[in-house]
Structure 1
Amino acid sequence: MRTQVAIIGAGPAGLFLGHLLKQAGVDAVILERKDRDYVEGRVRAGVLEQITVDLMERLGLGERMRREGLVHGGTNLASDGEVFRIDMAELTGGSTVMVYGQQEVMKDLFDAAEARGVNIVFDADQVRPHDIDTDKPYVTWRKDGVEQRLDCDFIAGCDGYHGVSRAAIPADVLKTFERVYPFGWLGILTEAPPCDHELIYSNHERGFALASMRSPTRSRYYLQCSLDDRIEDWPDERFWDEISIRLGPDAASRIVRAPSFEKSIAPLRSFVTEPMRHGRLFLAGDAAHIVPPTGAKGMNLAVSDVVMLSEALSEYFQEGSAAGIDGYSARALARVWKAERFSWWFTSLTHRFPDRDGFDRKMQIAELDYIKGSRAAQVTLAENYVGLPLV
C-alpha cells in the first residue's frame, strides 16, 4: 500500500486532518488501534471554540451541531458562592463558544468519513513508524495476525499522549515540559437539566467546582478532589451535597439531583513536547501537548494543529513548497503555549493547592474581585476562552 500521508490515530486530530486532506485532494490513510465504537464512545470535552465550529462548517459537518449544539455568549465565575458573568460575545466583538460534546463531533466525523471515502483502518495493532529521517518513511501494523505496510511521504502522529509517534523521535532531539497538578477532577454525567444555561466555574474554600452540560437535558458536573480519592468514596448523595456547597445557594437551588450514569476521576497535567516535527514525522493534538481541562482547550488545540498541518501539507503537494512544513512546529507551538498559559492561569485561579496558605487564598479572591470590576481583565479572559486566532 502507498499513500501521501499516513495518519496514526483516529481521534479528533487524526479525523479532522483526514477530512481536511481529503478536501484538499491529498491522499491519506488513517490507522486506528481500536474500533469505531471505542473511539467514538470516549467521554471527553464538550466546549468548542469558534475555530472548531468554523471548521465543522467548512467541512460541511455543521448541520447537526447547529441543530443540537448550545451557543454560549458568556460564562460565569464564582467566588465562595458569589457568581458574576463574563459577557464573552460583547467583550470580543461577537465571538462565542458552542457546547457540543466530543462524542457528537466524533460521530459526525466518522459518519462523513464513511460517506466521503476517507480511508480508516480500524483494529490496526502494533502500529510503528519507520525511517522518519529519510525521504521514504513507512508505517507497519498487524491486522488479523498479518503484518501490513504503508509507504508514504509523511507521517502525522495523532495518536495521543500514550501513542507511539512521539516515542519515535530520538530522545536527544525531543524536549518535554510538564506540570503535574496535585489534585484531580471527579466528574459525573446525569440525565437532568443543567442548573444554569451557561457554565459556572467556582472557586470555593473547599475546592473547585464546575457546572456544565452536554444538552438541555444532560448535565455534566465536576469537583476538585484528591488524587487518593476513589469513585467509591463519592456516592451520588455525597457528590450533590458537596457541589451544592461549592457552587453556592443560588446555583444549588436549581440543581436536579438525578442519578449519575457515568462517574470518573481524571488527573490534571500540563505537558508540551518540542519540536512537533522531526524529519517526515509531525505530531498533532495530545501526542504533542496536554492541557488541564480548565478552559476546555484540549480538542480545540488539536483542531488548530491540524488546520496548520493540513495547510502545510497541501502547500507541499500542490505547490511544491516546503515553507509550510518547515514552519509548522514553530507556528503550532506559538498557539499551544498561549493556550497552556491560559489553562495554567485559570486552573491556578480557581483551584485550592495543598501547599498554599492563607496568603495565596487571599490573592485568588483579590484577582477574582479585580476581574469582576475590570473590563480590561474580562476582555483578556474572554478572548482566551473563545480561542485566539490562528497566525
Structure 2
Amino acid sequence: MAPPAAVVVGHDFRFGARRADGPAELRQLLAGAGIGLSVVEKISEQDGDKLGSTAIRELVGTGRVERAAERGLEAPLGPASAAVGLGASTRSWLHGPAARVCASWLWPNRSAGRWAWASPGLLLRWRPMADKLFRGVFTALVTPMDEEGRVDDDALTRLVEAQISGGVHGLVPCGTTGEAATLSQAEHVHVVEVVTRAAKGRVPVLAGAGSNSTRKAIELARACKELGVDATLQVVPYYNKPPQDGLIRHFEAIADAVALPIILYNVPGRTVTNMVPETVARLARHENIVGIKDATGDLHVAAQLREQCGEAFALMSGDDFTLLPFLATGGDGVISVVSNPAPALLVSLYDAFVAGRLDEARAIHFRQLALTRLLFRDPNPIAVKAAMHMLGIGGTAVRSPLRELDLDGPLAASLRACLRDLGLPS
C-alpha cells in the first residue's frame, strides 16, 4: 500500500513567499514517518490565493485538489492522505485517516519557524520563532493635507519614502494619527492606495480598516485587500460600548469575511471600551488574528497579553512613552507616532534593544521621550503634523474639530528646538 500523503494547501500573498526551506524541513520530518508531501500553491487562476479552510473544504469536495495533484504533484489527495491543512480551523472537518496528521501552515507572512510535532502522531504545526512580519518599528502615518483640507498625495508619497529611508519595518496608514475618523470612505481607500503604491512591497503595509460598525469594517477590509495590503488594523469599536462577547463576534466576523491577517487595536483612552487580555487570548485562536496594538500604556496588561496569547502572537506597543519597558516585557515592537519625524531614532532604539545593548537603548529612549512629550501635549496628530511641516513634508492642516498648531506659539518653538537637538533639520 502506498504511504499516505500530507497535502499542504498554501497561500501566496503579496508580501513575501513562505520560506524556501520550509517545505524541505517538513518533507524531511515526514519522511521518518513514511509520509510523502505535496504542496499546492494555487489550484487555478480562478481560485487565486483565496484558499481559506472553507474554500479547501469545497475544493476537496469537488475533487479539484485531487485533479491538481495529478498535474505533477507527488501524490493525489485521497483516502490514504494523512492531512489537508491551512490553519487550526481546518482540523474541525478532518476525520478518519485524514486526522492522523494535520500539516498546518499558518499565514506565510505571519512568522518564520520550524516544523515540529505539537502532539505526537496527531498534529504537525508550524511553530513560529522570532522572525515575525509584525515586529520592529511601524509608523502610524499622518495624512498630509493641503490648505483646503484635501489629501496631499505628493507629500504622502514623500513621507513613505522618508520612512523607508529611515529604516522602519512597516507602515500604518489610516489609523488614529492618520485621522481616519474624519476621512470619507473614498478618501480612506485612496490614502491606503497611495501608501501601498509608494511602498512598492519594500515594507509591509498594515492598513487601518476598523469601524464601530462590523459591516463597515468588513467593507473597508475588503477594499484594502484589493489594494494589496499585508494586513488590516482593527480598532475596538468606539462609542457604542460593546461587551466583551460583542467584541469577539465583531472581530471574528471580520476575520472570517476577509482572508487577511488582522492586528487588533486596543486604545481605551479613545474608544471608551477596554478589550481585556482574556478576550484577546480568545481571539488569538483565530488563524487570521495575528497580533495586537496595545495602546493602554499598562505594562501589566502587556505582560498578561504575552502570557495568555503565546509567543507567536505579535505584541505591538501603541504608546511611545513606554516603548522600551514594553519591549522588555515581551513586546515585538511599536506602532509609533514619534517615528513620523524621527524614524531612524526609533529604529536605532529597537535595534539596540534586540542586540542586547541595553544601556544604548535606554539612552535613546530618554532622548525620544523629550520629543514624545511635545508631540502629545495637544491631541494627536496636531503637533506631529506641525513637526512634519517643519521637516518639509506636508502642511499643518488637520480636520475639524481639531485645530492646527500655532507655528508662532511656545509649543512650536519648543518643537523646533527639540527637532534641532535630535539632528533633524527644521
TM-score by length of 2: 0.28
Ranked by relative contact order (alpha carbons within 8 Å, sequence separation 6 or more), the top structure is 1
Of structures 1 and 2, the larger Rg is shown by: 2
Higher relative strand content: 1
